[in-house]
Structure 1
Amino acid sequence: MSMEKITILMVDDDWKLRNLLRIYLSKVGFVPVEAADGHEALSKMKHQSFDLVILDVMMPGMDGWEVCRSIRMAQSVPILMLTALDETKEKVQGLELGADDYLTKPFDPEELIARIRALIRRASLTLLKQIENHMLRFPELAIDSEGRQIFVRDTPIDLTHKEFELFLTLAENKGRVLSREQLIEKIWGFDFEGDIRVVDIHVKNIREKLKKAHLPYQPIQTSWGVGYKFETGAMQS
């Protein structure tokens, strides 16, 4: 994630502090957006995504804790809270409501930037882990189970809904032979009343698409008289 693209929402009723924050953040390449109170902040968050929120605790009308609680009900964006009170119970309350870090006023600009970068780095790693958790990777082939997409050397391959379900099911059971009946049950359901050879038609279509994409091996292998299995070592025919 490049720093130039990182957008930070600053929420504080003190315009002088917002102005200082804007100067600090802009100087290192962040994109600051201002909100004078909690209601304005929540309104902006409905229409724009932010990489981090700097949130003052003591604000009239809707304090920082209430804003933090509202944000956490909808988003996991990192929240750095600012407080004029260096008291443990204040910090504990904010952290319990979902804040990620605390900074006491007055603060050093360099520490502020360091805290922000640490939070964004942590959030990026968390997102990367989430992405990795739903990616199946094979030689020159990747399957994104959440995004419902497959890639051959980073090029997306267009599969129909059932083709994707079939391919994903076989990949998740790599090396294991699944019968047509098992595949029908997993993908079409118990109440399927059509011809089980529909599996063969989908397999044929998937194979043709992978071959057209120049995948150097054929991952769906036929187990004669039984069904199909997913292997990564068999070459294209």
Structure 2
Amino acid sequence: MPRSILIVDDDPHIRQLLVFAFGKAGLNTREAGDGEDALASATRDPPDLIVLDINMPRMDGLEVCRRLRAAGDIPILFLSSRDDEIDRVLGIELGGDDYVVKPFSPREVVARSMAILRRTAAHPPRAETVAGFRYGGLSIDGEGWAAHWMGQEVALTVTEFTILRTLASMPSRIFSRDQIIDRLHGPGFAITDRTIDSHVRNLRRKFADAGCADLIETRAGVGYRLGNCKEPVATP
């Protein structure tokens, strides 16, 4: 059965170009002209992938992504204006899989979308399941997809949790960015190093807000590994 793509953009010309390009690639498409319609369509009949513009009326693409990520893990490819770098980074931090900058080639959008679909169809090996893992003040429930700091749950996206679970699977090992990408998306998936850096930065911020200042250690030019996760020392 052909994969289904939800194309979300307030510009009907862009939607028409993408519908034609995806159709030539043998993929089914449907359209939404704003964020609210996109969210309703994706909730009613989840597509295999969403091509999602960031700047739209009624509800922007970042809010659509935020709400979808709270409920599931539909792959999302963002469309972004050239001057919206902050929004692109935020979109990745919210759990977007990739982005393409406007003006774009419809063939590039289709090629990147096909790469995401191949990854999701392949079901690549994930990090070893970490069940009942505890390290310093950090605890991870691999089966329940939950992470805690000192007993307090830290809300994470699926991507953030998978990165943390990957690092926790071998706490002393340094994982390169490419190795982390392989755990997330499968071998050969092309995303930039800064995408992983954004997810790691977001993980650090969330745990720092909860009181953990050393969740992830950076080894310059090599990659990341789990930090000491030291429990805070109680003052007398």
- Normalised by the length of structure 2, the TM-score is 0.51
Q: Aligned partners of 2:121, 2:95: CA distance in 1, in Å?
A: 17
State how 1:97-116 maps to structure 2 within 5 Å.
97-116=94-113
Alignment of 1:183-194 (within 5 A): none
- Say whether the 8 Å CA contact 2:17–2:106 is kept in structure 1: no
Q: State the shift of 1:120 in Å.
A: 0.8
Matching residue of 1:6: 3
Contact 1:9-1:35 at 8 Å conserved across structures: yes
Query: Which one of 10, 19, 23 corresponds to residue 22 of structure 1?
Result: 19
Q: Which residue of 2 aligns with 1:122?
A: 119
Task: Verify the 8 A CA contact 1:25 1:32 in the aligned structure 2.
Answer: yes
SS at match of 1:49: coil
CA deviation string 1:40-83 (max 9, x = no partner): 11111222121100000000121110011011111211100001
Residues of 2 paired with 1:112 and 1:38: CA distance? 19
Partner of 1:50: 47
Contact 2:35 2:59 in 1 (8 A): yes
2:177 alignment partner in structure 1: none
Residue identity in the other structure for 2:67: S
Q: Are 1:59 and 2:62 counterparts?
A: no
Letter in 1 for 2:73: S
Higher relative contact order (CA 8 A, sep 6+): 2
CA distance in 2, matches of 1:112, 1:90: 18
Contact kept, 8 Å, 1:81 with 1:99, in 2: the verdict is: yes
Point out where structure 2 has 5 or more consecutive residues left out of the alignment.
130-142, 144-236
User: Which residue identity does 1:61 align to in structure 2?
Assistant: R
Counterpart Cα distance in 1 of 2:107 and 2:15: 16
SS of residue in 2 equivalent to 1:61 = coil
User: Matched residues in 2 for 1:54 and 1:11: separation?
Assistant: 6
Query: Which residue in 2 is equivalent to 1:82?
Result: 79
Q: Give the aligned partner of residue 31 of structure 1.
A: 28
Number of residue-to-residue matches in the alignment: 129
- Within 2, Cα distance between the matches of 1:22 and 1:109? 9
Match for residue 93 of structure 2? 96
Residue aligning to 1:68 = 65
- CA RMSD of the aligned region, Å? 2.1
Query: Secondary structure at 1:41's aligned position in 2?
Result: helix
Sequence identity (%): 44
- The answer to whether the Cα contact below 8 Å between 1:86 and 1:104 also exists between their aligned partners in 2 is no
Q: Which amino acid aligns with 1:33?
A: R
Aligned to 1:5, the other structure's residue is in SS state coil
Q: What SS does the aligned partner of 1:58 have?
A: coil
Q: Secondary structure at the match of 2:74?
A: coil
Counterparts of 2:10 and 2:106, CA distance in 1: 19
Runs of 4+ aligned residues of structure 1 deviating over 6 Å after TM superposition are none
**Please, which runs of 5 or more residues in structure 1 have no aligned partner?**
134-145, 147-237
